[in-house]
Each structure stands twice: as structure tokens, then as C-alpha cells.
Chain A
Amino acid sequence: MGFYIFLTLLIVVDLFLPKHPFFSWEGHPSFYAAYGFVSYVIIVFGSNYILRKLLKRKEDYYGDY
């Protein structure tokens, strides 16, 4: 519960904190929150459903090599 209150606070404070964005997209409120969330989901799904399908082998795949 505390975690969700903390998250809400992060969003609310962001609306009032003066910023000096280096890039245009960085200035949007909650850009970082959205980027973090989306990146995480991409990493989890991309690695598990694409990369693992392509690269997984049995643990004894290499034998003696």
C-alpha cells in the first residue's frame, strides 16, 4: 500500500517541480514513469517469449565441449 502511495506522490510532485529538460520528450510530466514501466514490460516479454524460444537448449546440450 505504501508503495502505491509513494508512486502517486512521485507523479504528483512531478507536476509542480521545475525542470530543465535537455530533450523535448523529457519535459512531459511522468515521462520517466511511463518509460520505466514500458521498458520493463518489453524486457520481460521480449526475453521470455522471443529470445528464449530461439536460444533455449537442454542443460547438457554441449556435452564435453
Chain B
Amino acid sequence: MVIINSLPPAIILIIGAFLIPFLKGRLKSAYLLLLPVIAFISVVSIPEGIHWTVGFLDYDLIFGRVDRLSRAFGYMFTIISFIGTLYALHLKNQDGQHVAAFLSAGGALGATFAGDLLSLFVFLEIMTIASTYLIWARGTEASYTAGFRYLLVHLFGGLCLLAGILIHVHQTGSIEFGAIGLNGIGSYLILIGFGINCAFPVLHAWLPDAYPEATITGTVFLGALTTKVAVYSLARSFPGTEILIWIGAAMTVFPIFYAAIENDLRKVLSYSIINQVGFMVVGIGIGTSLSLNGTVAHAFNNILFKALLFMSMGAVMHQTGKSKATDLGGLYKTMPLTTLFCIIGAVSISGFPLFNGFVSKSMILGATTQDGMGILWLVLLFASAGVLHHAGIKIPYHAFFSHDSGIRTKEPPLNMLLAMGIAAFLCIFIGIFPGPLYSILPFPVDFEPYTGAHVLDTFQLLSFAALAFCLLILSGLHPVEWRVILLDTDWFYRKGAKAFHRLANRLLGVKGDASLTTVAETDREVIRGR
């Protein structure tokens, strides 16, 4: 214990990651699984307070600010690192992916336990670079370009954050990563920096653009980490900031319309992340102890069921090479366990009683009633029906049921099944016994999700939404999926880049697309030549 506690959990993962390439066979597998366990023990056992302070210029960098908020997120990130690593354990000769995954998780832990804004910034940048690798590692043309866009957007977000931090430090003289609140240009820049990571509306397009292009195992880490670190940062610095209520509400609503008509099921799940994070952002904006507890609890649960859904779609993709609704269907016949796990994830995210989404989402909804915010409450309820539509029904229906695609395959490797099994177990366990989850939340919990009225209301909402689905399908009124892509705000920089490219060529007097494409081609060869 003393040895484990001599290093911050982030450093355990980051330094530990670089030993991976030197190990082989079973020893490597054991080591990969052990690392997140050690980090978890570290998170459990560090006493509350300030640890690992390092002097830097005139400031103190703090690598271990431990309180109930940071520790709760520490639990999430270490647990999902274990599940994600188990899910990726079959990868051979892909050390880069394991290293990048641990760097990303280490960055997330570092940001979580950072007590000052400078080390927060550094850890976020580590995450950006590691995440970009997890996108590129897929090795396809689409992942190459999506990875570049991801990198550019996040470097821009990082610059906003850095500029905001510098102004903030100049104004206040303190680099403490604490409550900031909206007061002046510095704080707005910091909010934008966090907001890009958090996929605020308009700043969100990087997420559904990049995550579906990442590696099958990498997406599990990406989907769990970046946005949840941003949620943590907002909860730390901007609790009770009213604008977040409406930003969050918008986030819960607009993605459900996109997810409803998106053909790529991994992209559906990406839009679904924005919707779920929206609930958390609303909780931060309300800023009461109930709503902040709800935010943290929902982040915890969301990491589990969203990872479970991404893992089940990843398993489908691993076995069939496909992820589009129009290409899939009927897989329950040959992948019954994966089907079951996917349904558990789908039911959990929809918030059915006895599953974990129910016990946390109802805290956030409860907080809106406490504050008498009727419109907001109606919006979130509408969004809950939307979650049932795209994540609860669409994902399992199109992958495993629907029309039979004729694909016959088998279950994914055992490690993938085990990882999904653990996540599924936790979804159900927390749904039935929310006590342990409630006990790690930042504030004392005085909330009972299982009242007769609340259970009945939830069943009514979700079951009659499901009835709408059944009736639409039976009557033939339910539209089918199309092989198309949907425009989103990434249009501005993707088409904008093309226009800039043409303009630059014209100014340089180059005909066609020659100059810049040649450079891009060379880069592509370098990245592919991994």
C-alpha cells in the first residue's frame, strides 16, 4: 500500500504504460489487467487532502487534490480502464493501442486529481494526443482524416483553455483549479475549452465525426473518458452556472433527432453520448447538492452502460466488419450473449427501473422539480423518451433483430464477452442496490428512487413510447434506415478547409489540388506505415 501510494494514480498508468512493449505472452496480459487494479487501489486508499505538490516557477503544481468529487471520478476512470483493457486483451502486436489507452486513462486521472489549472491543462493535452492515436490506429482512410480533425479541434480547445487560464491567473494571481464561475473573458475561454471536450452544441461535431472511426477497443476508452473529464471540470469550476442548464438541455434534445436517422450504429451511440452528457451538464447548471449528486451518479452509470453498448457494437463489428443498420440484422441467432448484453445496456441507458440509469437520471429530474423548473423538466422527460428510441430500441433492434441480413457469425472472443458481462452485471447491480453508488457521491444522499409513483410513472413513459414504436412498425409507418450521411456543424470546417485549400492554391499559382495533397499523401504513408 505504501508503495502504491507513493505515486499519483495517473503516474502509475502513464509510467506503467511504457513498460507494456517489453512484456510478452501471458505476463503481458496479466500486467495489462493489473495496472488499472493498482490504480484503483491507489484511488481507494489515498487519504483526502492535498498530495504530491511540486514547485514550478512561482507556483505549486498539485498532482493529488483528493476530495469526494475527484475520488468518485477516480473510481469511474479506473473501473472502466479495467473493463476496457479486458475487452482489448485479445489484441496481438498492437502495443501502441494499449499504451495509448493507458495514457488516455492516465491523463483522465491526472486531470481529475489535479489541484491546479496548469497540470490540468497538461493532462488534458496528453489525453488529446493519446486519443488521436486511438483513432488513427484503425488504419483506414476515414480514420486518418477523422483523427486529424479530432486533433485540430482539440488543439483549438486546448488553446482556448490555455489562454483562459493565463488570463484567469493574471487576474486572480492563483492557479487553483477550483470554482471559477463566469466573470470575464478568461472564465469564458476556460468554459469554451471545457465545452469543446464536453461536446457543447455547435462545438460537438468532432465527437460523432471521430469516435465511430476509432478502433473497436479504443472507442470504449474514448467514449468513457474525454467527455466525462469535461463534466468533472465543469462540476469543479462552474457549478450553479445558469447558462449550463440550457446548454445541457439543448444537448439532451438535438442529438436524439440525429441519432434517430443516423445509419451507422456507432455514430448513433456517439450522438447518444452528447445526449447523456447533456443530463449531467443540466445537473451542474442547477448546482444543488441533489443535482450535483445526480450528475456524478449519472456519469458513473453512463460510463458503464455506454461502454457496454459500444462494446456490444464493437463485438458486432469485430465479427462482421459492419456497423451500419442497413447492413445488419438478425444477429441474435448467432450472437445470443452479445445480444443479451446489448439489451441490458439499452435498458439501462433508457432508465428502466432495476437498471442503473434509473437511479441516477431520476436524481437530475428530481432536482428540476425541487427548483420548480417545469419547462426544463418537460424537456428532460422528452429527451428520456428519445433515449429509449435511439439507444433503447434502435441499437439492439437494427443490429440483432429487424430484417435478417443473412450474416451468420459467432460470439466474439471470451475476453470481450467477459468485459461486457462485468459491465452488464454492474448495470444491474447498481440498479437494484444503488446504496454503494450513493455512498461515494460528493454530498450526503437523501433520495429514494424506488417510490411507487416514480416507478409507475417511468414505466408508463417508457412503455407507451415503446408502444408507439410497435404500432408504427406494425402499421408500416415507421420509416426505414437510409444509406446516407447527415450534415452537422463539422460541415463548416470540412468544406471551409476545402475552400481555403483552393484559395491557397490559386494564390500560390498551383493548378488543381497538387501542392497540399502531395504533403497530405506523404503524411498518410507515414501514419499507415506504422
Q: Give the docked Cα–Cα distance between A29 and B382 (Å).
A: 18
Question: Who on chain B is nearest to A57 by CB?
Answer: B485
Give the dominant DSSP class at A's interface. Answer: helix
Q: Are B374 and A23 in contact (CB under 8 A)?
A: yes
- Chain B window 489-507, contacts with chain A (Cβ cutoff 8 Å), 1 for yes, 0 for no: 0000011011000000000
Which of B261, B382, B457 contacts A51 (CB under 8 A)? B261
Q: A36-B468, A59-B485 are in contact. List 8 more A-B contacts (CB 8 A).
A: A10-B459, A11-B460, A44-B468, A48-B479, A51-B261, A52-B486, A57-B485, A64-B145
Shortest Cβ distance from residue A10 to the other chain B in the assembled complex, whole angstroms: 5
Which of B260, B458, B487 contacts A43 (CB under 8 A)? B260
Q: Are B260 and A47 in contact (CB under 8 A)?
A: yes
Residues of A within 8 A of B55 (CB): none
Shortest Cβ distance from residue A3 to the other chain B in the assembled complex, whole angstroms: 7
Chain B residues touching A, range: 35 or more
Residues of B within 8 A of A64 (CB): 145, 517, 520
Q: Give the docked Cα–Cα distance between A47 and B469 (Å).
A: 14
**29 contacting pairs across A/B (C-beta < 8 A):** A6-B463, A7-B464, A10-B460, A10-B463, A14-B456, A23-B377, A30-B460, A33-B461, A33-B463, A34-B464, A36-B385, A36-B461, A39-B386, A40-B468, A44-B260, A44-B478, A44-B479, A47-B256, A52-B482, A52-B484, A55-B487, A56-B486, A57-B486, A58-B485, A59-B483, A59-B485, A64-B145, A64-B517, A64-B520
Q: Are B465 and A40 in contact (CB under 8 A)?
A: yes
Shortest Cβ distance from residue B271 to the other chain A in the assembled complex, whole angstroms: 11
Question: Who on chain A is nearest to B264 by CB?
Answer: A59
Most buried by A among B374, B456, B483: B456
Knowing A36-B461, A52-B482, A59-B484, the reply to whether A41 touches B472 (Cβ < 8 A) is yes
Knowing A65-B145, A65-B495, A65-B497, the reply to whether A36 touches B464 (Cβ < 8 A) is yes
Is residue B257 within 8 Å, beta carbon to beta carbon, of the partner chain? yes
List chain B positions with a Cβ less than 8 A from chain A: 145, 256-258, 260-261, 369, 372, 374, 377-378, 381-382, 385-386, 388-389, 452-453, 456-470, 472, 478-479, 482-488, 494-495, 497-498, 517, 520
Give the dominant DSSP class at B's interface. Answer: helix
Knowing A55-B487, A56-B486, A57-B485, the reply to whether A40 touches B469 (Cβ < 8 A) is yes
Q: Are A35 and B381 in contact (CB under 8 A)?
A: yes
Q: Are A17 and B388 in contact (CB under 8 A)?
A: no
Q: Are B385 and A43 in contact (CB under 8 A)?
A: yes
Residues of A within 8 A of B460 (CB): 10-11, 14, 30, 32-33, 36
Residues of A within 8 A of B482 (CB): 52, 56
Residues of B within 8 A of A39 (CB): 381-382, 385-386, 465
Q: Give the docked Cα–Cα distance between A27 and B501 (Å).
A: 59
Residues of B within 8 A of A56 (CB): 261, 482, 484-486
Q: Give the docked Cα–Cα distance between A51 and B458 (Å).
A: 28
Residues of A within 8 A of B458 (CB): 32
- Chain A window 8-25, contacts with chain B (Cβ cutoff 8 Å), 1 for yes, 0 for no: 001101100111101100
Knowing A41-B468, A52-B261, the reply to whether A36 touches B374 (Cβ < 8 A) is no
Q: Give the docked Cα–Cα distance between A28 and B452 (Å).
A: 16
